[in-house]
Chains A and B, each alone.
Chain A
Amino acid sequence: MIKRSNHRVVSFAVLTLSALTAASVAAKGTLVYCSEGSPEGFQPQFFSTGTTFDAVSVPMFNRLVQFEIGTTNIVPALAESWTVAPDGKAYTFKLRKRVAFHGNANFKPTRDFDADDVLFSWNRMADENQSFHKLTSGQTFAYFDDMGMKNIVDRVEKIDDYTVRFVLKRPEAPFLADMAMDFASILSKEYFDTMMKKGTPNAADVYPIGTGPFQFVSYQKDATIRYKAFDKYWGGRPKIDNLIYSITRDATARYAKLRTGECQVMAFPKPADLDAMRSDPQLAIQRKEGLNIGYIAFNVERKPFDDKRVRQALNYATNKDAILKAVYQGNGQVAKNPIPPILWGYNDAIHDYAYDPAKAKELLAQAGYPNGFDVDLWYLPVTRPYNPDGKRMAELIQADWAKVGVRTRLVTYEWAEYRKRSKTGEQTVMMFGWSGDNGDPDNFFVPLLGCEAVKGGGNVSRWCNKPFEDLVIKAAQTPKQADRAKLYEQAQVIVHDEAPWIPIAHSVRFDALRKEVHGYKMDATAHHYFDKVELAAP
């Protein structure tokens, strides 16, 4: 009797031990990516977070145009070429032929991508009477609305099966960049019609069908997303067979999984872990200048910040190099303009305000504040891509400004509350920032410093300057990029002189991978693309 129970104990122990040591090596040709969160859904038009785009529009869909990886240059995708009418109000796209759609258990495409799909995808968002527009009760077309597409595009016309024309209400040069954004992903009209006929119209929004390099296999809520390579991808079948997103919300856990090999690429490493990652022979770090800006905004509607001299004085009073070292730990560049250097149109000829407390005091005295003044400084309560530590930055600025007689009280609110209050002009001086959406300078200048944006709340310095506004509006309507760049350069001169902000820094982004991942390149708009990646033997 004792022998039998011993035997059971031993075999239980063996089972446990072997369970514990079971290696979790994924099948060869499978890339596991540790992502930072769950997608809100599998539809590119409804949602607006980077997490959802990474899981949906990036692997499974294409757009008419796309960004050359790592840059903000627009290159052909589902459109092979395009022409712009001389008045800038019409864009005619010639579509790529022999582009296949995915299929699934309930849908087998009978035709390739053509103009009908472009019209369907756009009109679904734009036309209130389109049958699928109405089915989205409770859903919104987040980016379509946010970018004001309704005020830009008048209609889409089908010229023939492989030619479409977008007719605009006004010339809008950034339109092409907008078409590279995730919300402009091309859906399969045939799929939606088939699902409608089968009586399950919502299925088309739940089980995605696109033209992209990977097709959807399954989703375990909050745990795993599985994709497999699409053999008939027009851009060439991906080199990896399977792509798996392992959803891991905690950054430390992601790093741990990268080290144990449970995933090969991880999203958003913590800056504090970067040094350890760099000295780990199994890992590789890639970096990319962020398409972003962290800044301090002066509310020009409030004294004393209605006076340009005060604003300039505080620019002189702020030691940005110290901030870059202490807050960004060197992972960034000091900013002198609202747009980052990787964006075309950046005016490098501008001389930033040097750190000069004496000059600051002089200007303050001229403006009538020889003894300084008291002010509230709002600081960010959370880490943002453009600012890893708002509190630390605020403390440094507080110390800097104290030297010139400006006494600051540090104030913060919970993140959603912070943003909410900023839109009503409650702030006097506030820390904020921005990450670009589409690699076009217009996407920085208009939402952040434009007159319309004062009303919408995105322009937290509430600065509305006619010469600046005219330049930016003209640049949006000028077709040639070189001409636009010149206009933006002039606009930056005005911003620098009028100083509604202190531009602090552009952060640098990092991705961490295991050494056996080859061919991965970082995207300028912070998406994660795996279509060109291959796995060497570990």
Chain B
Amino acid sequence: MLRFVLRRLALIVPTFFGVTLLAFALIHLIPGDPVENISGERGMDPARRVRLLHQFGLDEPLPVQYVRYIGHVLRGDLGQSLTTHDSVAREFATLFPATVELAFFALLFALVLGLPAGVLAAVKRNTVADYAVMGVSLTGYSMPIFWWALLLILFFSVQLGITPVSGRIAVQFDVPPVTGFMLIDTLLAGDLEAFRSALSHLVLPTIALGTIPLAVVSRMTRSAMLEVLREDFVRAARAKGLPRWSVIVVHALRNALIPVVTVVGLQVGLLLSGAILTETIFSWPGVGNWLIHGVQSRDYPVVQGGVLLIAGVVIAVNLFVDMLYGVVNPRIRHA
């Protein structure tokens, strides 16, 4: 197990360089630069343009800029946003909890609905229930997030008026940001009204972001269950006379969960990228929103730093999932 973990940790170094290089290269490939972004339709005095490019460190050849950037990163300095001049790391830390909260609930939504749906579809294979679950999940998987989000808003918030349109909490609640997780912070402030408001604001974004993972989890669970239900030990358990639910849940599902756990780990990366669109539509103040704005204003430090940090999170989560996989599946542990 230890060797397994160490081997995975060693991979982090090349991954780190790969991610930074990719982020750096891609953002610089987009035409335009942050100085251009400031000047708008107005021309800029050429001397001032040169001065600004120098101030932002953009007048040197790209490889030099990259090496300098890496040097700073290794010292823990992710630079300053070119628009707000705030530390990139601090902006990320302020905004990340919002994204985590959203991703967590979307994942929870996907699991709480997806696992039972997949089990149901597998157990009632080739019946109406199976087709219904698979049909709905295929539809959910095919819908673009931003379109689905707008539909949800227009129907539930505007037409029916039962959910709020956007934001994390109704504007009249000024909750001191202790942890950055709105549900926790409202409870810490002892404000039940605010807690309820935060909860209601989570509903639509969770559904919008969680629909695709829900589809994936339900399909994955279904096919994993189908595999396992065919196994000899399941037949043996049934033959032993165990109750149906025990066979399905205790014996079959527990084994079917193994591939599902891996998929969930991969889903975390997808959730973070899906969060970008969801946050934009729902004005959710997280890192997705922040990154999009950074790309639009060519805020290189924000994009590079943001991508690096998010990649770091995804790597960490997948490492954890791999270790969890080792715990869940003894065959891996003893390999």
Contact = CB atoms under 8 A, between A and B. Distances in A.
A502 B203 CA distance: 51
Interface string B119-131: 0000000000000
A246 B40 CA distance: 25
B141 to A, nearest CB: 23
A223 B167 contact: yes
A432 B85 CA distance: 30
B41 interface: yes
Interface string B191-211: 001001101100100000000
Nearest to B51: A140
A30 B165 contact: no
Given A22-B197, A226-B174, A246 B46 contact: no
B171 A417 contact: no
Chain A facing B: main interface SS: mixed
A419 interface: yes
A260 interface: yes
A386 B194 CA distance: 42
A447 B298 CA distance: 25
B85 A41 contact: yes
Interface string A18-46: 11111010110010100001101100001
A525 to B, nearest CB: 15
Interface string B122-165: 00000000000000000000000000001001100110011111
Given A256-B157, A256-B158, A260-B157, A26 B172 contact: yes
A40 B31 contact: no
Identify which of A217, A218, A423 gathers the most chain B CB atoms within 10 Å of its CB: A423
Contacts of B285: 220-223, 247
Nearest to A146: B42
A222 B85 CA distance: 15
A24 B41 contact: no
B36 interface: yes
Nearest to A220: B285
Interface string A219-230: 011111010000
Identify which of B41, B197, B289 gathers the most chain A CB atoms within 10 Å of its CB: B41
Interface stretch (A107-115, A367-375, A452-460): A452-460
A257 interface: yes
A321 to B, nearest CB: 25
Contacts of A260: 157-158, 161, 164-165
Contacts of A21: 162, 200
B18 interface: no
A440 interface: no
B321 to A, nearest CB: 29
Contact of A249 (B41, B196, B289): B289
Given A19-B200, A26-B172, A40-B84, A416 B298 contact: yes
B280 A20 contact: no
Contacts of B174: 217-218, 224, 226
Given A246-B171, A249-B283, A253-B166, A222 B83 contact: no
A467 B46 CA distance: 26
Interface in A115-163: 138-140, 142, 145-146, 148
A222 B95 contact: yes
A138 B80 contact: yes
A217 B171 CA distance: 13
A419 B41 contact: yes
B69 interface: no
A457 B44 contact: yes
B333 interface: no
A299 B40 CA distance: 19
B31 A456 contact: no
B41 A433 contact: yes
A223 B85 CA distance: 18
A244 interface: yes
Contacts of A138: 55, 80, 85
A432 B32 contact: no
A98 interface: no
A423 B43 contact: yes
Given A250-B281, A419-B41, A224 B167 contact: yes
Contacts of A246: 167, 171, 283
B10 interface: no
A455 B49 CA distance: 12
Nearest to A415: B32
A220 B283 contact: no
Interface in A416-462: 416-417, 419-420, 423, 432-435, 447, 453, 455-459
A538 to B, nearest CB: 14
B23 interface: no
Given A253-B153, A414-B32, A456-B46, A221 B40 contact: no
Nearest to A224: B171
B97 to A, nearest CB: 11
A237 interface: no
B161 A262 contact: no
Contacts of A416: 31-33, 36-37, 298
A252 interface: yes
Given A40-B84, A259-B158, A24 B197 contact: yes
A146 B39 CA distance: 8
A269 B191 CA distance: 34
A47 B292 CA distance: 20
A453 B177 CA distance: 48
A50 to B, nearest CB: 10
9 contacts: A20-B200, A24-B171, A146-B45, A217-B174, A220-B285, A244-B172, A256-B153, A256-B157, A417-B31
Given A250-B283, A260-B157, A420-B31, 14 more contacts: A24-B170, A32-B171, A41-B84, A46-B85, A48-B38, A140-B52, A140-B55, A146-B44, A146-B45, A248-B166, A249-B283, A262-B164, A413-B31, A459-B43
Q: Which 8 A-B pairs have the closest CB atoms?
A: A416-B32, A458-B43, A456-B43, A417-B31, A222-B285, A457-B43, A24-B170, A223-B285
